[in-house]
Amino acid sequence: MRRVTPTLACALACAAFLPGRALSNATTAAATPPPEIYHVVTTALCARLHERVRPAVAMILQNDAKIAKSPPLFKKYMRGAMTALDTADPNGNGTPQMNDSIYNESPETSMTLQQMSYLVIPIARNLISAQTLLDDPKLLDPTGNPADDATLAKIRQQLLETVAYQSASLDLINGFVQTMQLGEIQHAGEEYLGAIQGQDTSNTSIQPTPNPWQDPNTPGLTPNPYALDTTQIPGLAVGYNPLTSIVDGLSWLQAETQKREDSAGKTISNVLTQCGN
Give the predicted TM-score (pTM) of the model.
0.69
The larger pLDDT score, comparing residue 132 to residue 96, is at 132
Once rounded to an integer, what is the mean pLDDT over residues 186-205?
Answer: 53
pLDDT of res. 211: 47
238 close to 230: Cβ distance less than 8 angstroms: yes
pLDDT band at 22 (very low <50, low <70, confident <90, very high): very low
123 close to 218: Cβ distance less than 8 angstroms: no
The predicted-structure confidence for 6-16, as pLDDT tens digits, reads as follows: 677 776 666 65
Alpha-carbon torsion (3, 251, 217, 187), positive or negative = negative
pLDDT of res. 273: 84
The predicted-structure confidence for 230-242, as pLDDT tens digits, reads as follows: 777 776 654 555 7
pLDDT of res. 275: 81
Alpha-carbon torsion (74, 170, 64, 226), positive or negative = positive
Separation of alpha carbons 144 and 177, rounded Å: 48
Burial 237-265 (b: 16+ CB within 10 A, else e): ebeebebeebbbbbebbbebbbebbbbbb
Q: At what angle do helices 146-186 and 107-135 cross, to 10 degrees?
A: 150
Once rounded to an integer, what is the mean pLDDT over residues 164-191?
Answer: 79
Separation of alpha carbons 127 and 274, rounded Å: 29
The predicted-structure confidence for 73-114, as pLDDT tens digits, reads as follows: 998 988 888 776 555 544 445 554 444 556 677 888 889 999
